[in-house]
Structure 1
Amino acid sequence: MPEIPETMDAQVIREHGEPDVFEAAELDVPEPDANEVLVEVAATSVNPVDTKIRSGFAADIGAEFPAVLHGDLAGTVVAVGEGVERFDVGDEVYGCPGGVAGTTGTLAEYATADAATLAHKPASLSMRETAALPLVSITAWDGLVTRAGVEPGEDVLVHGGTGGVGHIGVQLASLEGGVVHTTASTDEKRDLAEALGADYAFDYGRDVADYVEEYTDGNGFDVVFDTVGTGADNLEDSFEAAGLKGRVVSTVSHGPVDVDPVHTKGLSFDTVFMLIPLLHDDHAGRLRHGEILERVATLVDEGDLRPVLDDVDYTLSEVSEAHRRLESGEGVGKVTVRVE
């Protein structure tokens, strides 16, 4: 059994605000309850929901102060609670077990996790690469495989094809046999999207009717996956881009939206919010997260799926800078934080 210290280094927030609200803290190492494991955290990643909780925009789903943020982790199991059968001490794992109310965050040297939310780490990736995968992979899988049910030959539009969720979505849609189209803001990002499997990548600012005509002969897309969600505008663009009886799935839908096209085109519309099983103690949903991540790990180790990491590598003490990097929009790929 590894020796587990009584205390650990962590980064916490004691109020909402700009990235500078993070501060170093020494906390007690938590003990795993029944059906939980204790993970020595090697790395985590920054997701938009983390910045929203920090800023107070999503304060209602955050933990009580002093709060340890972040949900993604990659690390090693160092203790196992009663009832855990899938993992042993020494197993390398990954998942998104916390960072919201009622759970333990991962901006710390150790974190407890519901074993159901975890999977065995892809053998072919580093801890830092692995930490980039959990939340975005579950979201993209739910959106494109489960909700939209992409089928071979279908025209698929992924808004934001090089973002955290989008770059996994492009790869999954391609693996499902879709003809993948995606929007991106720069030539560099469009080249990356095509390298990941997009058949067509174009500027996000193009007129919707223009690219629907060019790429679908005016028929519209069978599936539209909106990972951008910049207010109602992008969602309304998604409805416009969808063809008759198309499927639209959004990961971030806010504000009043004109839903007339949903009715007149016979669209199906769905949303994905992968934190629901964590916020509502949904055991079946948590188990499903672990199952998705096991399948993702297989795809990664078979060479069919890969995370894209931003060039800048941050440590635990630099988490404020990591949040600034994500919020700047200048990064390409997932922003990660090494804890080890």
Structure 2
Amino acid sequence: MKAMTLNAYGNDAPFDEAQISRPVVAAGQVLVRIKATSVNTIDTMIKDIGNDLPLSPELPAVLGMDFAGIVEEVGEGVTGFAKGDEVYGCAGGLAHLPGALAEFIPADARLIAHKPKALSMREAAALPLVGITAWEGLHRAGVAAGQTVLVQGGAGGVGHIAVQLARHIGAKVSATGTGDSQLSIIENYGAHAVDFMAEKIEDYITDHTGGAGFDAVFDTVGGANLTNSFAAAALNAHIVTTVALSELDLTPAHFKGLSLHIVFMLLPMLHDVRREVHGQILADLAKLVDTGKVKPLLDEQAFTLSQVGDAYARLQSGKAVGKVVVEV
């Protein structure tokens, strides 16, 4: 089969087109013919950092975690899927698991679900990693109807899904962004848009929570911005972050009694622990998509498999608006 492989790690390392052996489906797996795959920040980190990350695959490597496609073969013991089914998932591209930058992927059946009927393959491929991350974060924070929620980075990959899911739950949602385009995206998803560069924290706390602070803050920016999340939170609130790779003074969190939740959705893939939870989240997410509650945002630029290097560069440029997708 055709695949785009990495033979070295680094910023300038190219993807090379190669013919590699078509995977043999194992027990508990389905073989999926890939139709589309999306690029996530973790994919670019693996490519650029490589061996310094404990989750990077051995070279030559086939990256790509998210995918949408058609079941080609069903392995022994698999139920609920049949040849010809349209599916989506996040099931490879790290450690020992082959990725989706290829014509086929052998996917653990516990990590996939039937594709939302309302989405194209391209749209469905944009959803798994960010959708699962947003779902897990809101669940960990115990977000409920009537609560106030702040999403930091509400127009980003995880952020725009978190906004929609929190709205579906019935929370009163605000989200930060920069520039007219991001603020417009946030407003179109039904949240209060907060101009991160222009508005002071104390002002939007007053405007959107009556000065009490937010019951939950979902931070997709991380680093020093976590301090802003602490400042925006109510007493005994929940902070969710997807980016905690930093040293930080937790004093402000202590004096507010905050609960900090770090979401790293790759753990089931890396450690083969509770993988079925991801499959169930994707199945539930598909229902929300098909009833119009959630819709992924895609960047306007389209890429083919041979253009995957350009797709990675597009995401890293900071110019993409929505998820960057590669069609196979």
Smaller-chain TM-score bracket: over 0.9
The reply on whether 1:92 has 2:83 as its aligned counterpart is no
Of 316, 327, 332, the residue aligned with 2:316 is: 327
> CA offset at residue 218 of structure 1?
2.1
> CA offset at residue 207 of structure 1?
2.7
Query: What amino acid is the match of 2:83?
Result: V
Q: Is the 8 A contact 2:151 2:175 kept in 1?
A: yes
Q: Distance in 1 between matches of 2:140 and 2:12?
A: 34
Q: Is the 8 A contact 1:73 1:96 kept in 2?
A: yes
Identity of aligned residues (%): 51
Q: Deviations over 1:143-201 (max 9, x none)?
A: 01x10121111110001111110010000010011111001111111111111121x10
- TM-score, normalised by the number of residues in structure 2: 0.97
Query: What amino acid is the match of 2:203?
Result: D
Of 173, 183, 196, the residue aligned with 1:190 is: 183
Identify the residue that residue 168 of structure 2 maps to in structure 1.
175
5 Å-filtered alignment, 1:168-247, equals 168-198=161-191, 200-205=192-197, 206-229=199-222, 231=223, 233-247=224-238
Cα distance change of structure 1 residues 65 and 77 upon mapping to structure 2, 3 Å threshold? same
Identify the residue that residue 22 of structure 2 maps to in structure 1.
29
Please give the secondary structure, in 2, of the residue aligned with 1:24: strand
> CA offset at residue 19 of structure 1?
5.5
Q: Distance in 2 between matches of 1:149 and 1:195?
A: 25
> CA offset at residue 263 of structure 1?
1.5
5 Å-filtered alignment, 1:159-174, equals 159-174=152-167
Q: Distance in 1 between matches of 2:201 and 2:93?
A: 37
> CA offset at residue 88 of structure 1?
0.7
Superposition misfits of 4+ residues, deviation over 3 angstroms: none
Q: Distance in 2 between matches of 1:207 and 1:329?
A: 24
| Mean CA deviation greater in 18-27 or 74-83 | 18-27
Q: Distance in 2 between matches of 1:33 and 1:62?
A: 22
Identify the residue that residue 294 of structure 1 maps to in structure 2.
283
- TM-score, normalised by the number of residues in structure 1: 0.94
Q: Is the 8 A contact 1:72 1:106 kept in 2?
A: yes
The reply on whether 1:113 has 2:87 as its aligned counterpart is no
Identify the residue that residue 137 of structure 2 maps to in structure 1.
143
Query: What amino acid is the match of 1:295?
Result: D
> CA offset at residue 210 of structure 1?
2.8
5 Å-filtered alignment, 1:16-165, equals 16-18=9-11, 20-56=13-49, 59-144=53-138, 146-165=139-158
Q: Is the 8 A contact 2:216 2:233 kept in 1?
A: yes
Q: Distance in 1 between matches of 2:48 and 2:115?
A: 31
Q: Distance in 2 between matches of 1:260 and 1:130?
A: 41
Q: Distance in 2 between matches of 1:177 and 1:150?
A: 9
Please give the secondary structure, in 2, of the residue aligned with 1:89: coil
> CA offset at residue 214 of structure 1?
2.7
Identify the residue that residue 273 of structure 1 maps to in structure 2.
264
Q: Is the 8 A contact 1:20 1:320 kept in 2?
A: no
Q: Distance in 2 between matches of 1:165 and 1:298?
A: 18
Provide the alpha-carbon RMSD of the alignment. Answer: 1.1
Query: What amino acid is the match of 1:123?
Result: K
In structure 2, stretches of 5+ residues that fail to align are: none
Of 254, 258, 261, the residue aligned with 2:245 is: 254
| Mean CA deviation greater in 33-42 or 188-197 | 188-197
In structure 1, stretches of 5+ residues that fail to align are: 1-7
Please give the secondary structure, in 1, of the residue aligned with 2:243: coil
Q: Is the 8 A contact 1:156 1:173 kept in 2?
A: yes
Q: Distance in 1 between matches of 2:183 and 2:135?
A: 22
Q: Distance in 2 between matches of 1:208 and 1:30?
A: 52
Please give the secondary structure, in 2, of the residue aligned with 1:116: helix
Q: Is the 8 A contact 2:6 2:13 kept in 1?
A: no
Identify the residue that residue 296 of structure 2 maps to in structure 1.
307
Query: What amino acid is the match of 2:246?
Result: G
Please give the secondary structure, in 1, of the residue aligned with 2:5: strand
Q: Distance in 2 between matches of 1:196 and 1:19?
A: 37
| Mean CA deviation greater in 258-267 or 287-296 | 258-267
